[in-house]
Chains A and B, each alone.
Chain A
C-alpha cells in the first residue's frame, strides 16, 4: 500500500501541493484528474523521487525508504540519446535493467516496429510518448505512473492498451494514470482522485462517486469532475 500524507510541495512561494493525502492499494488502477497546473505531474514526480517536497510523507507499506525504487514514471516526452535509433535505446535499457519486463506484447500493441529504426531526434511527440511507455514497463516496477498514456493512440489501440493495463493490474501492480481522455475507459479505474488547486478535493471508487453525484451535467467521470471543480476536463468553467 502506498500512503501519501500531508504532502506539501512549493516552487518558491507557489504552493503546488497543499497537504495532499491519499492511499493507493496494489492490484488497483487509480485515475488522477485535474486541470493543467493542478499539481498532477508534480505529485507523480514526488512519488517517483524526481522532486523533493517540503513536508509530509510518502510510504510504501509503512516504510518511507526507497519508495522511488519501486516506481516507474512514464514521462510525456523522451528526447535523450538523440542520435540513437528507437530500437537501440530499448536494447540499451534492456541491458541496463537486470530483470527487465518482457515487452514483446506491448511492442506489437503500440506498433513500435513501425518506427524502431528512426533516430530519437526524428521521432514525433506521440512516438516519444510511446517509447516512454515501453521504457516505463521495461523497468518492471511495482508502481507504474502513466502520464496521458492514451493521448496519442488511435481508438483501437487505446482499447487494446487499456486491456493490457487491466491484465497488468491482475498481476498485482499498482497503476496511477493521469489522463484527460477517459471516455470509454471508466471501467479501467478502481478509484478516482480529483486534484484541484493543489488539494485532493474528491476521491473514491466509481460507484461511490456515482452515488454521491447522481445528477450530473455530463455523463460519467466528466460529470463528476464538473460537479467537483466547476470545470470540464480541459478548462471550461461553470
Chain B
C-alpha cells in the first residue's frame, strides 16, 4: 500500500514538468553560477572556493530542501484537499498516517536523488570528501524530517495549490535568507555569526547551514554538536507533526 502511494506521488511529481522544473531550477541555477564564478575568477581560487562553499552550495541545498520537502508537498496536499480527493480516500482502508507516510517516502526518494545529483555537480567544481558527502546527505534528511510536517500545517491554512504557491514565496525568503544574509553580513563586518544563532534557532535551515559550513571547512567549530542538532530537528519534527495533525485535519 505504502509503495503504491509513494509510486503515485513520484509519478505525479515527475510528470508535472512545471513543478519538476520549478523544484530543480532554483537549486541548479547556483551550480551554473558556481561554474561561471570558477571560470571568471580563475586567478582567485580561494575566493571562488569560499564563495561556492559559503553561499552557492548552501543556497542550492536549502532551495532543494525547501522546494521538495516544503513547497512541493504543501502544494500537493493543498490540491488533494481542494479537489476533494479525501472524500474518496476516507472511504478506502488507508489510514491518514499510512497515506502521508507513503507520500513522505516519495518526497524522500525524489529529494535524495536530486540531492545526490546536486552534490555530485558541486563535487566537480569544489572538493567534497566522501565522508562529507554522506554526512551532508544525512543532515539534509534530518532537516527534511523537520520540514515535512510543516507542509501539512501550511496546506491546512491555504485553500488550494495556487494560493499555496503564491504564499510560499515569502515563506521561502524568510526561511532561506534569514540564515544566509545575517551569516554573510556578520562575517563581512568581522563578527562571529554563531553569536547570533540563538535568535535564528527557530529555523531548521540554520542547523543545515552550520553543519554544512563545518563539513566544507568554512568554519572550524559548529555552534552545537551533531547530536544536539539531531535532537533539536527531531523535536521540531515531533512538535510540528502534532500541530500538523490538528491543523490539516481541521
* A binding-site residues for B, Cβ under 8 Å: 48-50, 68-69, 71-73, 75, 79-84, 88, 91-93, 95-98, 119, 135, 139, 141
Which residues on B sit within 8 Å (CB–CB) of A98?
93
Does B178 interact with chain A (Cβ within 8 Å)?
no
Does B84 interact with chain A (Cβ within 8 Å)?
yes
Which residues on B sit within 8 Å (CB–CB) of A92?
4-5, 8
Partner of B8, one of A73, A79, A84, A139: A84
Which residues on B sit within 8 Å (CB–CB) of A93?
88, 92
Measured CB to CB, the closest approach of chain B to A125, in angstroms, equals 14
Which residues on A sit within 8 Å (CB–CB) of B91?
68-69, 71-72, 139, 141
Measured CB to CB, the closest approach of chain A to B80, in angstroms, equals 7
Measured CB to CB, the closest approach of chain A to B89, in angstroms, equals 7
Which residue of A has the minimal Cβ distance to B13? Answer: A83
Does B198 interact with chain A (Cβ within 8 Å)?
no
Which residue of A has the minimal Cβ distance to B93? Answer: A98
Which residues on B sit within 8 Å (CB–CB) of A49?
90
- The 10 lowest CB-CB distance pairs between A and B, nearest first, are A80-B85, A96-B92, A83-B15, A95-B4, A98-B93, A83-B12, A96-B94, A83-B16, A80-B83, A97-B92
| B11 contacts A135, C-beta separation under 8 Å | no
* B binding-site residues for A, Cβ under 8 Å: 1, 4-5, 8, 11-13, 15-16, 80, 83-85, 87-94
Measured CB to CB, the closest approach of chain A to B160, in angstroms, equals 12
Which residues on B sit within 8 Å (CB–CB) of A80?
80, 83-85, 88
Which residues on A sit within 8 Å (CB–CB) of B13?
83
Which residue of A has the minimal Cβ distance to B91? Answer: A139
Which residue of B has the minimal Cβ distance to A71? Answer: B91
Given contacts A80-B84, A81-B85, 12 further A-B pairs with CB under 8 A are: A48-B87, A50-B87, A69-B91, A75-B84, A80-B83, A80-B88, A83-B12, A84-B11, A91-B4, A92-B4, A139-B91, A141-B91
Measured CB to CB, the closest approach of chain A to B5, in angstroms, equals 7
User: Complex: how many Å from CA A97 to CA B93?
Assistant: 5
Could you pull out 11 A-B pairs where Cβ atoms are within 8 angstroms?
A: A69-B91, A71-B91, A80-B83, A80-B84, A83-B12, A83-B15, A83-B16, A84-B8, A84-B15, A88-B11, A96-B93
Q: Given A75-B84, A93-B92, A96-B89 in contact, is the A81-B4 Cβ separation under 8 Å?
A: no
